[in-house]
């Protein structure tokens, strides 16, 4: 059974309705590693709905957290905002909004593009609306017990003057420089390092609970029943352990079912993290990967398995793999799905589908071919024309054309920003003189041989490929030499795209003309 169906079955058994919570602090560009959280939540949510479980997906934006430091991508003037809630700092862009909105907006747009439609709850609003008032009151009333649990479960000593509330100072605006010292329901008395003394009302956004209490408090008021989170929170004595004991023994509710996910590593660079700068932003990832392929990356891997992401050639392999799953879904019509391949495909789709009916297999061009063709033609019409010839396609459906157009823009972005150097090329209009002068005798003989074979064969990738191999071998020429000869006169390099396919995308006459120029004929 697919991992999401296993979790969904457990949710169904435990009754309902279910509330699946995901969340993130919008302190900077939200990277693709963070996307695993909301994608995991959505995939479980879809699986639950397929089992007719009453399920709702939430996205809790921790915009009431303080800015921790002046990140490298910020101007130095942001030092005056360190310690203030992200929802109360001006945007680093020119959108006139807040800091939190600036980073949340593109992330939420990406989420929509992935077919995820969560209810978005910014924590600044939840505090302002008094959602936290009841759990905060209970926790403050029971602060000795809270302290005992945090100390015992996490094994960390708390400061003598620790008080489970972070007031926001109305004078300096910081939420991380106040010390609360007393509690007169509903007010928390505090002093700030700036000298201000005041009282914070827990029924509004005068302050917030510290993280290890904020988490069980939100489980309490929202009624969270399932939550995916990163393995850092799952460590023994970590925040899931402390929050679970706090909600059970003080707030008297059950903690949500946990879905612990592993990090996404950037190949060769380690775990992605905003602070280390090792990131591919979620927005970039969606500009170079079709949304169903990004969903697929998360759906096909158990949450507990780490994912090695290679934004270079790895993207091409990933799209190819998705295409194989799609082909299998439509072509293997048996009910069996021993490897969960069909289920993985269904859960990867942006628009919810349950079976083959009402949908159709989309004609796919091998992604590598698209990488070559995108560099040869500049517009969709020419691309379609070339595909009709090279792939033997008679006509495209509207959905195929839409996908083709989207994939082409992904390839464009990838070539521009992430493709390894060797993949990009520029085609010569004709081989330049210095290139011709450098052709060695064996390269010239290979081209001469090809001048005899190419005019008479069928002009498609396979025939060209065969002609190059057989034509070379029959004349005792190493086919590698022939390949090199073509790449030199077409691209000015030793290597290039698959030659049979590459030549088939061009007019035969044009290829022959270039060979003649190279041979000086």
Binding site for Zn ion (CB under 5 A): 169, 171-172, 192, 194, 196
Cβ-based nearer residue to Zn ion, 196 or 253: 196
Cβ-based nearer residue to Zn ion, 175 or 499: 175
| CA 331 to chain centroid | 28
Cβ-based nearer residue to Zn ion, 172 or 257: 172
Cβ-based nearer residue to Zn ion, 48 or 167: 167
Cβ-based nearer residue to Zn ion, 167 or 503: 167
Query: Distance between CA atoms of 307 and 142, rounded to whole angstroms?
Result: 42
Residue 175 structure tokens? 């939420």
Cβ-based nearer residue to Zn ion, 83 or 135: 83
369 and 390 Cβ atoms separated by less than 8 Å: yes
Cβ-based nearer residue to Zn ion, 172 or 401: 172
Element (DSSP H or E) covering residue 376: helix 367-376
Give phi and psi for 294, each to the nearest 5: -65, -40
Q: How far is the CB of 82 from Zn ion (least distance, A)?
A: 13
Q: How far is the CB of 190 from Zn ion (least distance, A)?
A: 9
Cβ-based nearer residue to Zn ion, 137 or 191: 191
Give phi and psi for 266, each to the nearest 5: -90, 125
Q: How far is the CB of 178 from Zn ion (least distance, A)?
A: 7
* Cα within 13 Å of Cα(216), Cβ side: 29
502 and 370 Cβ atoms separated by less than 8 Å: no
Tell me how far apart the terminal alpha carbons of the chain are, to the nearest angstrom. 65
| CA 268 to chain centroid | 18
Q: How far is the CB of 166 from Zn ion (least distance, A)?
A: 12
Query: Distance between CA atoms of 314 and 296, rounded to whole angstroms?
Result: 14
Q: How far is the CB of 66 from Zn ion (least distance, A)?
A: 12
| Nearest alpha carbon to residue 37 among 228, 221, 202 | 228
Please give the sequence-ordered ranges of beta strands (E in DSSP) within 277-367, or none if there are none. 307-309
Cβ-based nearer residue to Zn ion, 172 or 506: 172
Partner residues linked to 56 by β-bridges: 19
Q: How far is the CB of 347 from Zn ion (least distance, A)?
A: 49
Q: How far is the CB of 78 from Zn ion (least distance, A)?
A: 18
Residue 219 structure tokens? 């489980």
Query: Distance between CA atoms of 348 and 101, rounded to whole angstroms?
Result: 28
Give phi and psi for 487, each to the nearest 5: -65, -35
Q: How far is the CB of 172 from Zn ion (least distance, A)?
A: 3
Q: Are strands 18-24 and 55-61 parallel, antiparallel or unpaired?
A: parallel
Query: Distance between CA atoms of 474 and 446, rounded to whole angstroms?
Result: 11
Q: How far is the CB of 348 from Zn ion (least distance, A)?
A: 49
| Nearest alpha carbon to residue 5 among 53, 38, 39, 37 | 53
Residue 236 structure tokens? 């023994």
Q: How far is the CB of 198 from Zn ion (least distance, A)?
A: 9
Residue 241 structure tokens? 């352990």
Q: How far is the CB of 65 from Zn ion (least distance, A)?
A: 17
Q: How far is the CB of 76 from Zn ion (least distance, A)?
A: 21
Cβ-based nearer residue to Zn ion, 172 or 377: 172
462 and 488 Cβ atoms separated by less than 8 Å: no
The 10 Å CB-count burial string (b at 16+, else e) for 238-251 is bbbbbbbbbbeebb
Q: Are strands 166-167 and 178-184 parallel, antiparallel or unpaired?
A: unpaired
Coil, strand or helix at 381: helix
Cβ-based nearer residue to Zn ion, 1 or 194: 194
Cβ-based nearer residue to Zn ion, 21 or 169: 169
Q: Which residue is it, tokens 């083959």? A: 356
Cβ-based nearer residue to Zn ion, 201 or 320: 201
How crowded is residue 355: how many other Cβ atoms within 10 Å of its Cβ? 9
Q: How far is the CB of 171 from Zn ion (least distance, A)?
A: 5
């Amino acid at each position: 059974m697919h991992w999401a169906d296993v979790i969904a079955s457990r949710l169904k058994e435990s009754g309902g309705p279910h509330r699946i919570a995901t969340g993130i602090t919008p302190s900077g560009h939200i990277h693709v590693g963070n996307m695993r959280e909301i994608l995991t939540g959505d995939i479980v949510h879809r699986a639950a709905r397929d089992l007719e479980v009453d399920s709702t997906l939430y996205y809790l934006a921790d915009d009431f957290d303080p800015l921790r430091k002046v990140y490298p991508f910020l101007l130095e003037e942001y030092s005056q905002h360190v310690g203030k809630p992200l929802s109360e700092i001006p945007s680093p862009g020119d959108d006139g909004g807040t800091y939190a909105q600036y980073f949340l907006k593109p992330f939420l747009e990406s989420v929509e593009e992935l077919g995820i439609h969560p209810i978005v709850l910014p924590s600044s609003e939840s505090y302002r609306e008094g959602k936290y008032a009841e759990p905060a009151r209970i926790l403050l009333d029971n602060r000795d017990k809270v302290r005992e649990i945090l100390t015992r479960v996490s094994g960390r000593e708390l400061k003598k003057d620790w008080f489970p509330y972070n007031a926001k100072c109305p004078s300096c605006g910081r939420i991380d420089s106040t010390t609360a010292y007393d509690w007169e329901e509903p007010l928390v008395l505090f002093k700030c390092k700036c000298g201000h003394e005041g009282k914070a009302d827990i029924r509004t956004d005068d302050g917030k609970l510290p993280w290890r209490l904020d988490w069980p408090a939100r489980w309490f008021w929202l009624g969270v029943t399932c939550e995916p989170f990163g393995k850092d929170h799952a460590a023994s004595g970590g925040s899931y352990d402390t929050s679970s004991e706090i909600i059970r023994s003080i707030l008297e509710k059950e903690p949500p079912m946990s879905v612990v996910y592993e990090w996404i590593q950037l190949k060769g660079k380690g775990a992605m993290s905003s602070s280390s700068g090792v990131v591919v932003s979620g927005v970039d990832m969606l500009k170079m990967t079709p949304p169903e392929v990004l969903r697929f990356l998360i759906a096909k891997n158990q949450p507990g398995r780490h994912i090695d992401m290679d934004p270079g050639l790895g993207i091409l392999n990933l799209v190819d793999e998705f295409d194989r799953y799609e082909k299998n879904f439509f072509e293997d019509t048996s009910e069996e799905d021993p490897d969960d391949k069909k289920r993985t495909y269904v859960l990867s789709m942006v628009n919810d589908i349950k079976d083959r009916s009402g949908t159709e297999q989309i004609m796919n061009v091998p992604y590598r071919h698209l990488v070559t063709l995108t560099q040869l033609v500049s517009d969709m019409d020419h691309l379609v024309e070339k595909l009709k010839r090279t792939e033997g396609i008679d006509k495209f459906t509207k959905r195929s054309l839409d996908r083709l157009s989207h994939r082409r823009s992904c390839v464009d972005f990838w070539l521009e920003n992430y493709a390894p150097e060797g993949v990009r090329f520029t085609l010569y209009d004709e081989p330049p003189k210095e290139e011709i002068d450098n052709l060695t005798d064996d390269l010239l003989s290979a081209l001469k041989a090809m001048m005899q074979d190419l005019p008479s064969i069928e002009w498609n990738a396979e025939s060209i490929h065969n002609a190059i191999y057989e034509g070379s071998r029959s004349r005792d020429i190493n086919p590698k030499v022939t390949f090199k000869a073509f790449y030199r006169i077409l691209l000015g390099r030793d290597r290039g795209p698959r030659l049979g396919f590459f030549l088939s995308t061009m007019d035969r006459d044009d290829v022959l003309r270039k060979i003649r120029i190279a041979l000086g004929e």
